[in-house]
Structure 1
Amino acid sequence: MADLDETFSGTKDVAEALRFDEAALASWMNDNVPGFSGDLNVSQFKGGQSNPTYRLEAGSKAYVLRRKPPGKLLPSAHAVDREFRVMKALGENGFPAPEMYGLCEDPDVIGTAFYVMDFVDGRIFWDPYLPGVDGEERAAIYDSMNATLAALHAFDPDSIGLGDYGKSDAYIPRQIARWSKQYKASETRKIASMDRLIEWLPEAAPEQDRSSIVHGDFRLDNMIFHRTEPRVIAVLDWELSTLGDPLADFTYQLMQWRTPKEMRNGFLGADLAALQIPDEAAYVEAYCRRTGRESLPKLDFYFAYNLFRLAAIVQGVYHRSTLGNASNAKAKEYGAMVEPMADYAWSFAENMGS
């Protein structure tokens, strides 16, 4: 297996399909970003599949630009305006988020909507097994992730200006409907288990007992850690964030423990004790303790739902690659991942007697 940190870390020359008018951007930044000066240099981050992300350098300052991809897009996808809003609100209330400098929704500047934020200097770990990190630090990194997600779910959306960030109830039924529609819009071949899940999930969805801000894609490589401490200093990639069921958010991350290594580089079957990574029971207990829960109900449903949702997202990435506007060169490989994910999701549904 390729070294994931080497494959996805750092920057590269901007892909031809994702280039834009750099002079127009420099002019916009001069008008909208306090302290901006100097010649602008643009490169593209290697990682990321959905919204293309760029490193900007000017003078002695580094910034990050994140934009909608060019071309025809699925409805409601690539909501960079929502990313900007939620990170700004959370960062201003003590949550680890980059400083946000400006949002531009005028497509005439660089071709699509975008925002500019601070470049946070830290560590991004692309491999959840954390090679090159000692066991004690591995344990602390996962504990920091757990604490960060629990802190997110503790915010009262109304108190930080996000009370209208989404509908607070019936999150999972709405998500099932959304991703069923998105999947069908990007479908390239029939997958029987996806069709079964689209039919079964709405009837099996549990009642939502709490509402919170949900990240929607909370995983290791969407976080920046301090250079020398096992501490989250920024959470990135809020495109899928909204108000909703915090258990859907937590169990999305918990899939790491229930998927095999060949699927999402999961932990299933791994010797976590030797790695000093907490096992599933310990990770669940820490989250429950931090959020005042006694236990997590209906995990099989949540795993089926989250794997279905992930399969729909992956199908969208693959579909964009067939159109030539996916942001990562490996996107075309994603087509082969959808059916195994869907089949595995259906196995959790079968555990519930479907």
Structure 2
Amino acid sequence: MTAVDLTPVQPQHRFDEAKLTAYLQRHLPDFKAPLTIQQFKGPTASPAFLLHMPGRNMVLRKRSQPKKGSTMAESIERDFGLLRALHVAGLPVGVPQLACTDETVIGTPFYLLDFVPGRQFRDPNLPGMDSKQRQAHYDAMAATMAGIHALAPTATGLPMNGGGLDYLNRQIATLCEQYRANRTEEIGAMERLLDWLPAYVPTDDLTSLMHGNLRLENLVFHPSEPRIVAILDWDLALIGHPLADLAINCMPYRVTIPGMGSLQGTDFIETGIPGEPDYIASYCRHSSWPAIRDNGIAHWNFYLAFALFRVAVMAQGIVKRGMASGNASATLKAYSAVMRSVANQAWNLVDGGDD
């Protein structure tokens, strides 16, 4: 973590630091003043703050919006409970310290966990490393994803919701509904995917914890070793299908999203970064699922198509909201291009033919 990752607390997220100090003095063992606070750069859906105390740094997380069907307090308790379960299971996360559902302290429920120092990489091309170092860091990410999927779902405290096959069916139905509601133009590939995906869901009913947004940027590496010391951004975690999670993890190979890193155009031989097939092989080697470890992944193109379709639906939502607000920016046009590109990629994976 470097200074470039931190900023003063943004106006829309400011809170009464004196009230927080008083609360921590009562509830956090070994708390020492003075307390100073900075905000981590990144998405604002669940803003994060670095709390500096003498001899100790901690992370405060709160939510801008609750999870669907939950109150803000329930969402924070869910997040905190998951982190405690992950810590007990030995997955690399900051040690959870306390959860506060009293909105009078900072205006919204929050939780605290220990800050884990290390390196984060915003660019998946890992500039400044040699080929062996890049390969080792990607292997560590594949091993970490396999470790997430190895955890018994019942140990997470998250609702099972029917398991992996139900997750795929529910997600596809929801994404199709969202796309139809936000459609601004007709894209032939998307229209065909709306029919194809629900009809061809694989029957390999694997069920696991899903991180939902695992990418290099959400990992903290040891200061000098290709070893992951913390996994960040568990906001989208749920019980679902491990191969859908892996496909989402592989999106940098397939998609260039405005403001996010991409591996499109990367020279994998020169850089040492594994291409998608080699990265998948690394995941399979680390997998705790015997069928995957021994035989590889069946129906991989389906899972990739699902993940690409998911990106297209998200991009369509951004385009629809931008058009409704009268936004005609270059970024909005870029998302429109992303939507068409990934839709064609997805359809080419399962049938073929551009639109």
Aligned to 1:22: 17
Q: 1:135 aligns with which of 113, 131, 135?
A: 131
1:263 shift after superposition: 8.4
Is the aligned partner of 1:242 residue 2:238?
A: yes
Q: 2:184 aligns with which of 180, 190, 195?
A: 190
Is the aligned partner of 1:56 residue 2:57?
A: no
123-132 or 8-17: bigger deviation: 8-17
Q: Deviations over 1:203-232 (max 9, x none)?
A: 333234211111000100001000011100
Aligned to 2:335: 338
* Identity score, percent: 34
1:177 shift after superposition: 3.6
Q: Deviations over 1:304-344 (max 9, x none)?
A: 32133234556778899999xxxxxxxx9864443233223
Counterpart residue identity of residue 310, structure 2: R
Aligned to 1:68: 63
Aligned to 1:327: none
| Contact 1:52–1:67, Cα closer than 8 Å, also in 2 | yes
1:9 shift after superposition: 4.0
CA distance in 2, matches of 1:338, 1:76: 29
> Number of aligned pairs?
337
CA distance in 1, matches of 2:238, 2:111: 18
CA distance in 2, matches of 1:225, 1:318: 35
| Contact 2:311–2:342, Cα closer than 8 Å, also in 1 | no
Return the TM-score normalized by structure 2.
0.82
Larger Rg over CA atoms? 2
Gaps of 5+ in 1: 324-331
CA distance in 2, matches of 1:230, 1:254: 19
Aligned to 1:209: 205
Q: Secondary structure at the match of 1:92?
A: helix
1:192 shift after superposition: 3.5
CA distance in 1, matches of 2:85, 2:347: 37
Structure 1 residues 205 and 24: alpha-carbon distance in aligned structure 2, compared to 1, 3 A threshold: farther
1:151 shift after superposition: 1.1
Q: Deviations over 1:171-211 (max 9, x none)?
A: 112223444566778x5x72544963555533333234211
Is the aligned partner of 1:307 residue 2:308?
A: yes
CA distance in 1, matches of 2:317, 2:26: 35
CA distance in 1, matches of 2:56, 2:226: 25
Q: Secondary structure at the match of 1:224?
A: strand
9-18 or 301-310: bigger deviation: 301-310
Q: Deviations over 1:260-281 (max 9, x none)?
A: 5878432233211110111222
Aligned to 1:353: 351
1:50 shift after superposition: 2.7
Return the TM-score normalized by structure 1.
0.83
CA distance in 2, matches of 1:29, 1:316: 40
Gaps of 5+ in 2: none
| Contact 1:168–1:211, Cα closer than 8 Å, also in 2 | yes
Aligned to 2:296: 295
Aligned to 1:275: 271
1:49 shift after superposition: 4.4
Counterpart residue identity of residue 137, structure 2: I
303-312 or 267-276: bigger deviation: 303-312
Is the aligned partner of 1:112 residue 2:108?
A: yes
